[in-house]
């Protein structure tokens, strides 16, 4: 709740997931930072901003579901339909 | 003829080109329908997409800042376009690179002022702020340094201390019952705090209108004042100040910025959760809540105000979810009401119209700057606009 600059600018330690991705927050994946040093460099990203986007995405997807999804179909069902 | 590589626009574009191409190469305009200015004007030159495309044109030498400076007035800094843009919402955290329309608009305004291109209303507003140390909030309201703590008369609050309450110019000089309510509530909960020794405007409005040097000077003054009084924590009731203290000040002062910033709405929700505040006086109103752009869209703060409202007995609360409200705005931010009050009024009318559809008698606001345009629009539809802090104070049985 309290904003503390030092804390915001110190993200949790990164754990490698694949050659090109890391993770710092649970279920949140990031591109390997070394891949963004030449053409486009990464922006300053305080922790609150990462979490704001992650939560906004979840809220937005839930909102889209509520407004536009008539029914939810599993991937398995879709594949089954394609096979037929 | 000036060397094309030394054009200020060229230098500017070097800094902003990646952010601009991030939009220009997508250009899918998911941002359009959530942009309040776009909604009421349908002017493509005043769209987030255009704000980015202009940077590409500046880089290529097709445009000077003087050609487009007036277009950049048309933005409330609400942040809807940023959060709705797929390049933020779906990939921003992945790449640690997101759409930066709000910062870009501020930066172009800064470039314009640097080049001597002024908007008359903004120039005057910032000149007066510079002279008085506070914004000239309402014609006729005396604004000067000697009166900045007048709102607290009789509350017997100490000066300085570990935690201080920062009160924005609108609340300190015009909406004085808002900070008085906040002070009474915090005292009721036994939360200790004081006031600043010599508070100046936070500098945020100057930064938003492009007067960067002034913004930094004001920020420096406030930080020095806090340090001199041994302040560790600043309580903030205004969402605009909250942005200034958590985004502008860190950029100005870097790692040396060691002041904790606490949003009052979040603190109050916590005090209710902990049982240190128990709203008990019924407030018989049918309300909806207006998410201030700077809390909901720009900071992701939307739960706590609703928690407070749900704790107030007697209220009938017709909530509109936070995602639907990404496209709502009061029109009161980003200096728009200073230069284009007619656009602010249109945006507010539209917002109050949404409230009217719900059949409510009250629109609850949590931002002193949103309140004035919303109240003007509310009068036409017999909808009261009431401040969240004041509503809570009423239910706690404390009068301002
Ligand atoms: S700001 Fe985002 S949504 Fe809008 S046009 Fe640009 S890339 Fe698309
Ligand atoms: S910040 Fe708000 S007003 Fe400004 S361009 Fe984006 S959506 Fe429009």
Q: HEC profile for B156-183?
A: CCCECCCEEEECCHHHHHCCCHHHHHHH
Please work out whether the CB of residue B27 comes within 6 Å of at least one atom of ligand 1: yes
Q: Which of B68, B94, B114 is the last residue of a domain?
A: B114
Q: Is residue B193 domain-shared with residue B105, that is, in the same domain?
A: no
Closest residue by Cα to residue B51 from B237, B32, B34 = B32
Does residue B162 form part of some domain?
A: yes
- pLDDT tens figures, B279-295: 999 999 999 999 999 99
Q: Is residue B174 domain-shared with residue B236, that is, in the same domain?
A: yes
Q: What is the CATH number of the domain that holds B178?
A: 3.40.50
Q: Is residue B251 domain-shared with residue B217, that is, in the same domain?
A: yes
Average pLDDT of the segment spanning B301-318: 98
What pLDDT is attached to residue B152?
Answer: 76
Q: Is residue B241 domain-shared with residue B286, that is, in the same domain?
A: no
Which atom of ligand 1 is nearest to B47's Cα? 4
- pLDDT tens figures, A19-75: 999 999 999 999 999 999 998 999 999 999 999 999 999 999 999 999 998 888 888
What pLDDT is attached to residue B207?
Answer: 97
Does residue B138 form part of some domain?
A: no
What pLDDT is attached to residue A73?
Answer: 85
B93 CB near a chain A CB, below 8 Å? yes
Mean residue pLDDT of chain A comes to 93
Q: Is residue B157 domain-shared with residue B239, that is, in the same domain?
A: yes
Which atom of ligand 2 is nearest to B34's Cα? 7
Instruction: Give the strand order in the sheet containing B233-236.
Output: B163-166, B233-236, B260-263
Residue with tokens 């935690």, as numbered in its chain? B163
Asked whether the beta carbons of B194 and B158 are under 8 A apart, the reply is: yes
The span from the CA of B365 to the CA of A22, in Å, is: 40
A15-16 vs A21-23, strand pairing mode: antiparallel
- pLDDT tens figures, B45-77: 999 999 999 999 999 999 999 999 999 999 999
Chain A positions with Cβ closer than 8 Å to B? 1-6, 8-9, 28-31, 33, 36, 40-43, 45-46, 48-57, 59-60, 63
Does residue B348 form part of some domain?
A: yes
What pLDDT is attached to residue B1?
Answer: 52
- Going along B152-285, which residue ranges are E strands? 163-166, 233-236, 260-263
What pLDDT is attached to residue A31?
Answer: 97
Q: Is residue B257 domain-shared with residue B341, that is, in the same domain?
A: no
Compute φ and ψ for B286, nearest 5 degrees: -105, 115
Q: Is residue B245 domain-shared with residue B315, that is, in the same domain?
A: no
Predicted model pTM: 0.95
What pLDDT is attached to residue B389?
Answer: 97
The span from the CA of B110 to the CA of B117, in Å, is: 10
The span from the CA of B323 to the CA of A68, in Å, is: 14
Q: Which of B240, B270, B300 is the last residue of a domain?
A: B270
Please work out whether the CB of residue B81 comes within 6 Å of at least one atom of ligand 1: yes
Does residue B20 form part of some domain?
A: yes
Within 8 A by CB and 6+ apart from B1, the residues are none
Does residue B110 form part of some domain?
A: yes
What pLDDT is attached to residue A56?
Answer: 98
Closest residue by Cα to residue B392 from B183, B234, B156, B242 = B183
Nearest-CA residue for ligand 2 atom 3 is: B75
Paired strand residues for B316: B286
Contacts of B323 in chain A (CB under 8 A): 59-60, 63
Torsion over CA of B129, B135, B136 and B142, rounded to 10 degrees?
-100
- pLDDT tens figures, B184-214: 999 999 999 999 999 999 999 999 999 999 9
Q: Is residue B262 domain-shared with residue B284, that is, in the same domain?
A: no
- The domain in which residue B72 lies consists of 4-114
What pLDDT is attached to residue B2?
Answer: 59
Q: How many domains does chain B have?
A: 3
**B297 to chain A nearest CA, in Å?**
9
Closest residue by Cα to residue B76 from B97, B105, B96 = B105
Does residue B134 form part of some domain?
A: no
Please work out whether the CB of residue B102 comes within 6 Å of at least one atom of ligand 2: yes
- Give me ligand 1 centre to Cα B149, in Å: 44
Torsion over CA of B389, B391, B395 and B397, rounded to 10 degrees?
70
Q: Is residue B365 domain-shared with residue B282, that is, in the same domain?
A: yes
Does residue B123 form part of some domain?
A: no
Asked whether the beta carbons of B37 and B86 are under 8 A apart, the reply is: no
Whether B347 has a pLDDT exceeding 70, the answer reads yes
- pLDDT tens figures, B86-139: 999 999 999 999 999 999 999 999 999 999 999 999 999 899 999 888 888 776
ipTM for this prediction:
0.94
- pLDDT tens figures, B217-231: 999 999 999 999 999
- Give me ligand 1 centre to Cα B109, in Å: 20
Q: What is the CATH number of the domain that holds B305?
A: 3.40.50.1860
What pLDDT is attached to residue B149?
Answer: 85
What pLDDT is attached to residue B343?
Answer: 97
Q: Is residue B103 domain-shared with residue B208, that is, in the same domain?
A: no
Least confident of B48-62, B171-185, B357-371: B171-185
Interface touch A49/B98, C-beta < 8 Å: yes
> What percent of chain B has pLDDT above 70?
98
B92 CB near a chain A CB, below 8 Å? yes
Mean residue pLDDT of chain B comes to 94
Q: Is residue B255 domain-shared with residue B286, that is, in the same domain?
A: no
Please work out whether the CB of residue B80 comes within 6 Å of at least one atom of ligand 2: yes
Asked whether the beta carbons of B200 and B222 are under 8 A apart, the reply is: yes
Q: Which of B114, B133, B161 is the last residue of a domain?
A: B114
Whether B365 has a pLDDT exceeding 70, the answer reads yes
> What percent of chain B has pLDDT above 90?
86
Predicted confidence band at B164 (pLDDT cuts at 50, 70, 90)?
A: very high
Q: Is residue B246 domain-shared with residue B200, that is, in the same domain?
A: yes
Does residue B84 form part of some domain?
A: yes
Asked whether the beta carbons of B204 and B222 are under 8 A apart, the reply is: no
């Amino acid at each position: 709740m309290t904003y503390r600059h030092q804390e915001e600018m110190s993200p949790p330690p990164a754990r490698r997931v694949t050659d090109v991705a890391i993770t710092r927050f649970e279920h949140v994946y990031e591109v390997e930072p070394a891949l963004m040093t030449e053409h486009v460099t990464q922006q300053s990203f305080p922790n609150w901003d990462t979490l704001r986007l992650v939560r906004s995405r979840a809220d937005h997807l839930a909102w889209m579901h509520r407004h536009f999804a008539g029914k939810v179909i599993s991937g398995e069902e879709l594949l089954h339909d394609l096979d037929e | 003829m000036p060397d094309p590589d030394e054009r200020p626009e060229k230098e500017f574009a070097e800094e902003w080109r990646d952010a601009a191409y991030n939009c220009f190469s997508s250009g899918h305009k998911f941002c359009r329908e959530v942009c309040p200015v776009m909604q009421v004007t349908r002017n493509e030159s005043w769209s987030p997409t255009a704000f980015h495309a202009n940077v590409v044109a500046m880089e290529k030498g097709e445009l000077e800042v003087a050609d487009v400076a007036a277009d950049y007035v048309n933005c409330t800094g609400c942040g809807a376009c940023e959060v709705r843009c797929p390049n933020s919402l779906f990939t921003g955290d992945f790449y640690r690179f997101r759409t930066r329309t709000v910062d870009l608009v501020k930066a172009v305004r800064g470039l314009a002022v640097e080049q001597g291109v002024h908007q008359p209303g903004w120039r005057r507003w910032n000149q007066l702020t510079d002279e008085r140390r506070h914004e000239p909030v309402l014609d006729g309201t005396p604004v000067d340094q000697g009166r900045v703590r007048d709102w607290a008369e009789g509350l017997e609050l100490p000066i300085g201390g570990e935690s201080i309450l920062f009160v924005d110019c609108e609340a300190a000089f015009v909406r004085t019952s808002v900070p008085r309510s906040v002070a009474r509530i915090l005292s009721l909960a036994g939360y200790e705090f004081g006031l600043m020794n010599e508070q100046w405007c936070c500098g945020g409005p100057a930064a938003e209108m492009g007067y960067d040097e002034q913004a930094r000077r004001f920020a420096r003054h406030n930080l020095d004042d806090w340090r001199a009084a041994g302040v560790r924590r600043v309580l903030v009731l205004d969402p605009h100040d909250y942005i200034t203290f958590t985004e502008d000040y860190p950029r100005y002062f870097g790692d040396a910025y060691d002041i904790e910033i606490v949003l009052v709405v979040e603190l109050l929700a916590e005090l209710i959760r902990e049982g240190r505040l128990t709203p008990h006086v019924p407030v018989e109103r049918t309300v909806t809540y207006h998410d201030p752009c700077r809390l909901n869209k720009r900071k992701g703060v939307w739960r706590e105000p609703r928690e407070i409202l749900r704790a107030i007995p007697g209220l009938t609360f017709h909530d509109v979810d936070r995602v639907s409200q990404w496209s709502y705005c009061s029109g009161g931010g980003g200096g728009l009401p200073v230069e284009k009050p007619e656009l602010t009024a249109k945006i507010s009318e539209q917002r109050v119209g949404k409230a009217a559809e719900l059949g409510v008698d009250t629109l609850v606001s949590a931002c002193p700057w949103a309140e004035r345009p919303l109240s003007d629009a509310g009068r036409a539809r017999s909808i009261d606009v009431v401040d969240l802090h004041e509503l809570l104070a009423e239910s706690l049985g404390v009068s301002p």
